[in-house]
């Protein structure tokens, strides 16, 4: 993903989001969660360990990438048996030629005719394939987060909107980040769902990115839809996690952008301030380096992120 400095500079660079599908924003009191049971952050952390042991280097086209796909599929056999797990295979035109990529979608039907999508990319950075980059926080922890969220939803089916978990491929650039060389998986899905009518049913598209960070602070993203940012603040208050939200600001060019560009309400839950700042990397020195390792991730941060996602599902279902 690419980021643009401060919120002020972001607002100068990014046009205000006009979202025809967003519900009218209403003044709301914080709503207590109706969730039963609780997301398991420790289980998500153990899944992160297992994922990294299975597929530490999983850039597109590598043997590790195939192992990552097998790992993800193995955790959704129950959904596959019900016809609620989809493998979306496509061919992407990249600077390195045509590459086969796969998105995986686990579906949890609700009682309403709309969908909340929660997505995370599962591959590692392609240009960093020759160094010891495992992307513990940048892809692995959030993939594990979504697997454990699937375990939660299997035990506690959605009572409102349906929830779809998307493990998207090709978020990272193959050569150098640009509009054409990035977010291959979500660009493909946004186009596909626009054609088949799914897009108009999506109430919110949420990205989970780099939020296993041991020092967790989810940024206020200028490219996210305002009413979803407001609900995230409410979710943080309801769950007691306000100190871990919105202490920093950013404008992320991430997996949510193809959906934002098509008028879908979007939220990027991301902590881009990852590691001690340096002159070369003022936002944090762990990003896209071999320092992005398991010791930088914590069960506590995954617990916080999981709590927030569970609460967001309930709040979005009730909104509008």
| Contact (CB, 8 A) for 106 and 84 | yes
Is 172 a residue whose pLDDT tops 80? yes
Which ranges of 225-298 would DSSP assign to H, the alpha helix? 226-239, 257-260
Q: How many CB atoms lie within 10 A of CB 39?
A: 25
Report the range of poorest mean pLDDT among 20-34, 190-204, 289-303.
Answer: 20-34
Beta bridge partners of 269: 208
Q: What's the Cα-to-Cα distance from 247 to each of 91, 130, 135, rounded to whole Å?
A: 39, 35, 24
Burial class (CB in 10 A: 0-12, 13-18, 19+), 262: middle
- Using 50, 70 and 90 to split pLDDT, how confident is the model at 144? very high
Q: Are 301 and 309 in contact (CB under 8 A)?
A: no
CATH number at residue 184: 3.40.630.10
What is the reported pLDDT for 320? 75
Percent of the chain, pLDDT > 90?
86
- Domain span at residue 9 reads 2-318
pTM of the predicted protein model: 0.90
CA-to-CA separations, 184 to 24, 83, 85, 198, 284, in angstroms, rounded: 31, 25, 20, 18, 25
112 in Cβ contact with 272 (< 8 Å)? no
Residue 260: name the closest of 117, 108, 114, 110 by CA.
Answer: 117
> Hey, is 152 helix, strand or coil?
helix
Judged by average pLDDT, the poorest of 14-23, 230-239, 249-258, 269-278 is 14-23
pLDDT at 307: 98
Number of structural domains found in the chain = 1
Q: Please compute the mean of the pLDDT values over residues 167-173 and round it to a whole number.
A: 97
Binning pLDDT at 50, 70 and 90, where does residue 37 land?
A: confident
């Amino acid at each position: 993903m690419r980021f643009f400095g401060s919120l002020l500079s972001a607002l100068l660079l990014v046009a205000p989001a006009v979202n025809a599908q967003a519900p009218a924003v209403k003044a709301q009191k914080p709503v207590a969660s109706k969730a039963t049971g609780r997301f398991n952050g420790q289980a998500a952390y153990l899944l992160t360990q297992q994922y990294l042991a299975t597929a530490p280097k999983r850039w597109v086209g590598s043997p590790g990438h195939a192992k990552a796909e097998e790992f993800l599929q193995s955790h959704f056999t129950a959904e596959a048996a019900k016809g609620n797990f989809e493998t979306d295979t496509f061919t992407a035109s990249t600077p390195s030629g045509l590459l086969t990529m796969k998105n995986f979608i686990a579906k949890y039907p609700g009682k309403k005719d709309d969908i909340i999508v929660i997505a995370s990319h599962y591959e590692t950075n392609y240009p960093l394939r020759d160094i010891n980059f495992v992307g513990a926080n940048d892809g692995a922890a959030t993939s594990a987060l979504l697997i454990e969220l699937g375990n939660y939803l299997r035990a506690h089916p959605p009572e409102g909107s349906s929830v779809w978990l998307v493990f998207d491929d090709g978020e990272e650039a193959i050569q150098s980040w640009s509009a054409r060389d990035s977010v291959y998986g979500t660009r493909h899905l946004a186009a596909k769902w626009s054609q088949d009518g799914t897009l108009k049913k999506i109430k919110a598209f949420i990205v989970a990115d780099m939020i296993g960070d041991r020092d967790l602070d989810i940024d206020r993203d200028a490219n996210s839809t305002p009413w979803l940012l407001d609900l995230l603040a409410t979710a943080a208050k309801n769950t007691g996690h306000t100190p871990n939200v919105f202490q920093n600001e950013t404008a992320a060019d991430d997996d949510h952008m193809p959906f934002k560009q098509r008028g879908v309400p979007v939220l990027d839950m991301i902590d881009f301030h990852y590691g001690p700042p340096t002159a070369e990397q003022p936002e944090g020195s762990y990003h896209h380096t071999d320092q992005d390792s398991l010791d930088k991730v914590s069960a506590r941060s995954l617990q916080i992120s999981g709590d927030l996602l569970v609460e967001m599902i309930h709040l979005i279902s009730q909104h509008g």
